[in-house]
Structure 1
């Protein structure tokens, strides 16, 4: 057997011994994440894995807050003073002031979805989207057919901006066997012209975890 063949044989033998030593776990293609049983569930079903922020908290928050927002007088007050036109809303930043990971982009997109689907207000694109759209419109000035070119400086201006935050208070028992996790989600709707706050809403979520 040549020297190269001997080397290959030695390496393969070593790998085999290593696999048997760790019970084959290290050689499983799934590794530490293998052999999971997966079950699809209704996305609306609450599944509490632990006490931290999760998708059910986001869903509970955006539905309650937007329902409250649209039920308040500011919508009709605007329409009365603007010939029946619907107010235009820009959904701005929702700050994460908790120690948990919170996908605030997901939260703001859900706010936009609820607002648009209500049919009571109009919603404009967010900052990132506007930049991409403006680039596309600018490119179109040089490359699109004249009859399909979109005009510059014709964007719909927002009447209100929606801003918010997610805060938390966490309490732990002396024996560290009980944790009380409290979240508060705050939203504010502000008149862009006057800086007047026309609506403020909050949603509280409280969880108790024991072991």
Structure 2
């Protein structure tokens, strides 16, 4: 290979490297997205605006139910993802839904409902054991005979139905999110709620 040819190859390789780096460095700067609206990256599945909408709707429905209208009673409720099942085709962190529902209800209904943190039972029992062994004092609120028993617990399911056109590549997904509050003594279903939507797109995105 001649010296001139070698220089030509070297120049071409350098040009390709510089162009690649420039393309890699180029991009869209980060932008703030309204939580209640569809963002610039969206597909046919559950997205941020859906989590905001469904938790707001379920909170309003629960607070409007007669079972939770008697402020003197203050029923005890467990809201977590332990019995909230994802059966849909989309991977999703179920805690995003149940945690937002819990936080909103805790803010809006502390005078009407008590919320039992069953997910942290081990932490509570450890502290109770330290107090009763005399390792620590009793704190400022005193000791109880037992931890709180719950009256109701949240459960639910996320389901979906997918279809795709072989001709156009268009994908459509129907998504259903169902919620239930069950009486933990009698088994009675005291409240249920449903959130559903259907979306179609030619190119879906990857959900993680």
TM-score (norm 1): 0.74
Query: How many residue pairs are counted as aligned between the two chains?
Result: 187
Higher helix proportion: 1
1:137 aligns with 2:128: yes
After TM superposition, give the deviation of residue 32 of structure 1 in Å: 6.0
My pick for the range that moved more, 51-60 or 158-167, is: 51-60
After TM superposition, give the deviation of residue 35 of structure 1 in Å: 4.4
The aligned residue for residue 6 of structure 2 is none
- How far apart, in 1, do the equivalents of 2:113 and 2:201 lie? 40
Where does the alignment leave 5 or more consecutive residues of structure 2 unmatched? Answer: 1-10, 204-208
Q: CA RMSD in A?
A: 3.1
- How far apart, in 2, do the equivalents of 1:125 and 1:179 lie? 40
| Correspondence 1:12-161 to 2 at 5 A | 20=14, 23=17, 35-47=27-39, 48-76=41-69, 79=70, 84-92=72-80, 93-119=83-109, 120-127=112-119, 129-142=120-133, 144-148=135-139, 151=143, 153-161=145-153
- How far apart, in 2, do the equivalents of 1:33 and 1:53 lie? 31
TM-score (norm 2): 0.75
| Correspondence 1:165-184 to 2 at 5 A | 165-184=157-176
1:40-91 deviations in Å (ceiling 9; x for gaps)? 2333332152222222221121111221122122223xx39xxx21111111
1:120-159 deviations in Å (ceiling 9; x for gaps)? 32211132x2222222333444574435386365322111
CA contact (8 A) 1:137 1:152 kept: no
Where does the alignment leave 5 or more consecutive residues of structure 1 unmatched? Answer: 1-16
> Alignment partner of 2:89: what SS?
coil
Seen in structure 2, the aligned counterparts of structure 1 residues 154 and 21 have a Cα distance that, compared at 3 Å, is farther
The aligned residue for residue 199 of structure 1 is 191
After TM superposition, give the deviation of residue 95 of structure 1 in Å: 0.8
- How far apart, in 1, do the equivalents of 2:172 and 2:178 lie? 20
1:8-50 deviations in Å (ceiling 9; x for gaps)? xxxxxxxxx9x9486258879xx96874421123333321522
Which residue of 152, 169, 181 maps to 1:189?
A: 181
